Structure 1
């Protein structure tokens, strides 16, 4: 059995998005170490059977000048722990973890492109060059949607023999079971689950909600997600307070279990500017909830337009408003049919077993390469003693 290390920009990221993978690798008998900034998820990861090591990093933005210090810190941990394979998630961990890994096989997962790509200009130029150098030697690079994969290929950031496609992070279809339609009557509930960032389309959601309220004052618009996130596009607490005082938004905070909130909603909305494979939409589909999302990479991969939900233009509050009004005008039977189609799509394409099997195959591939790092059983047991 192997010592496998997972690294991301938050312990919460591993617990929330990679739990099926963690459980699958642990069930195979592997030792797992998580390297990430600590948060409230550390205890749960340790209860699953992971060893946890804290990583000091600023998750905000992609500042290349902070990269060398992060790479040195990660290199010291890798040399001390000597994992057999490292699995990388999130931008900085992928780029600077790749540089730090040395002879240890590293498998990055491009879960999204982040603010650097969305901003364009010099930031995008820097990000592309960092990716190109970081990923050059890897045998496998995972992507969560075809458009991100195509972008990296067209810009020569990866080779075609490296790039592999995953259905997001996968979904536990038993845990996120289909639920009967919510019975909200004349007070329909539109739910947005996301970190409160401008890049997620929060401003458009609020503006569209305000407009819909003029036609249907009883409609409810809920926001569930982290406030004050370490990100340049984060919504300020005073702005959120103003929305609440106005009565346009109900802020639900954060929830360890999103299922009851999804079950109580008529429709799940995500007006993001770009995604990898949005977990929110996948969870909603698994629970048979229709969705409204922007017609952007990531979102349009998950949503079958007019079948499992509606797509609207990005960065366009009026376009989102139109989609919300279209949903409200639908007869109940069409909403139910959309929800059922969403569940069927998740069963066909997004089962967590697909992701776990893809990682098992990738780990086996990189460990068979000539010169791949091998950890001895004696050293491995010492690291976990």
Structure 2
């Protein structure tokens, strides 16, 4: 298996890794070294590091990465390749095709390259078409993303299948194990990498608006700063927001559950998601949410039942949803959070993801292709 960052395996794929090892498979994780390699090894997988710059666009660096993948396949001779994120999905799958190894890909979101237009989107599209051409199964986390790929001819529909995101473990994310604040201060929490595409600027502008009439409300941000992404928020900008008193920056946490438990509402004004892991985690922790009405967010949040939806790239409409959440009484927000937990555990349980992977791995080993009807 390969993914651009070790922390992604530890935080989002741990259940799958444990299940595959329990099934008797040896799992080799080919990842970029971001300091979380020990966490993968603790799961029982063997780690191989790759020179992966997830945001880089140098063709020479990408050719070097492809060479590393090809050498890795020659040395390890795997039976199946599992890929996530853009470069492992492209270059890892190309190497798998050269080696005659069935590839199973997971398109967990379209990313910055697909949110814009221009030469980069066209180049990424061509590379995806080459990389996925011989894949046994290409998983998508929402139907809209699958339609984009099929519509652009990047993948054949018969290769594709849908997954309920990365899944959520309701035992691990159980609000009964975590205390909530009792100081009466209302907290909006944004959990995300600090990049423009997560709607960070809209969150800031909405916070600026809300604080005029609700100065005691706290706006918190938890997530990676200095992200290797072309739309990353720089440190000076973040520090300016903190100095202005608009937000509390909570830094980075290996375990987000205590922060979710203490939030009154979790906010994600993202421009597009695969299936938002943050929204799944917030719902499992029985937190009401505000999210944008875009693929990957509206698939999780049921408007006015488990949370509120607002327009993307619209700080004014986000502020409107925040005001509506603030105007709700405690009982209504609690009921919304309870409904959210019940809903995501029914639709997005982690065991469904693991079952799907077990099935397509078996199909790949038998030389079969997953049906698009799944």
Q: Per the shorter chain, which TM-score range?
A: over 0.9
Partner of 2:132: 135
The match for 1:104 among 71, 94, 101 is 101
Change (3 A) 1:173 1:76: same
CA drift of 1:66 comes to: 3.8
Question: 2:289 matched to which residue of 1?
Answer: 291
Tell me how far apart the structure 2 counterparts of residues 196 and 297 of structure 1 sit (CA, whole Å): 20
Change (3 A) 1:253 1:157: same
1:116-168 Cα shifts (integer Å, max 9, x gaps) = 11111222222222111211111210001111011112222212211100000
Residue 31 (structure 2) aligns with: 36
The 10-residue stretch of structure 1 (177-186 or 263-272) with the greater mean CA deviation from structure 2? 177-186
CA gap of 1:119–1:65, structure 2 versus 1, over 3 A, is: farther
Contact 1:132–1:156, Cα closer than 8 Å, also in 2:
yes
Counterparts of 1:202 and 1:274, CA distance in 2 = 13
Of 155, 161, 164, which aligns to 2:161?
A: 164
Cα offset, 1:24, TM superposition: 0.8
After superposition, residues 132-281 of structure 1 pair within 5 angstroms as 132-179=129-176, 182-183=180-181, 186-281=184-279
Who is 1:3 aligned against?
none
Instruction: Report what 1:354 is aligned to.
Output: 352
Deviation at 1:181, TM superposition (A): 9.0
Does residue 10 in structure 1 map to residue 10 in structure 2? Answer: no
Q: 1:382 aligns to what?
A: none
Residue in 1 aligned with 2:371? none
Residue 381 of structure 1 corresponds to none
Q: Is there any run of 5+ residues in structure 2 with no aligned partner, and where?
A: 369-374
Task: Report the alpha carbon displacement of residue 178 of structure 1 after superposing the two structures with TM.
Answer: 3.2
Partner residue of 2:67? 72
Counterpart of 1:339?
337
CA distance in 2, matches of 1:83, 1:331: 55
What does residue 86 of structure 1 align with? 81
Aligned to 1:376: none
CA RMSD, aligned part only? 1.5
**Cα distance in 2 for residues equivalent to 1:283 and 1:58:** 28
- The Cα of 1:308 is off from its aligned counterpart by 0.7
How many residue pairs are counted as aligned between the two chains?
Answer: 365
Unaligned runs of 5+ in 1: 1-5, 371-385
Q: CA deviation at 1:45?
A: 1.1
Structure 2 counterpart SS, 1:31: coil
Instruction: Determine the structure 2 residue equivalent to 1:305.
Output: 303
In 2, distance between residues paired with 1:355 and 1:361? Answer: 10
